[in-house]
């Protein structure tokens, strides 16, 4: 029997909320008891800020070594 889209969506929501509840930017990491609102917020937006440590790596630091080597290999 095939699961409905709603059941799959609920399964993934529960799975990600459990996983992301242990992230440092939830209330659970400080007081041990995460509020529902903070876990829901982190579920939708896991990265809270866009600083140079949390933001997109390529934007702040350029290509990684694997990508640099791949580009050099395919260039003349």
CA of residue 37 relative to chain centroid, distance? 17
Q: Give the model's confidence band at 3: pLDDT under 50 very low, under 70 low, under 90 confident, else very high.
A: confident
The reported pLDDT for the residue numbered 33 is 57
SS3 call for 16: helix
Category of 32 on φ-ψ map: left (φ > 0), alpha (ψ -120 to 50) or beta? left
Over residues 19-46, the pLDDT tens digits come to: 887 776 655 545 555 566 677 778 887 7
Cα angle 69-74-76, degrees, rounded to a multiple of 5 = 110
Q: Name the nearest CA neighbour of 34 among 16, 46, 18.
A: 18
């Amino acid at each position: 029997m095939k699961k409905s889209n709603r059941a799959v969506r609920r399964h993934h929501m529960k799975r990600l909320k459990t996983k992301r509840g242990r992230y440092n930017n939830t209330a659970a990491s400080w007081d041990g008891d995460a509020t529902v609102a903070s876990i829901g917020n982190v579920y939708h937006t896991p990265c809270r800020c866009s600083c140079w440590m949390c933001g997109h790596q390529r934007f702040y630091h350029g290509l990684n070594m694997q990508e640099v080597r791949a580009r050099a290999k395919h260039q003349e």
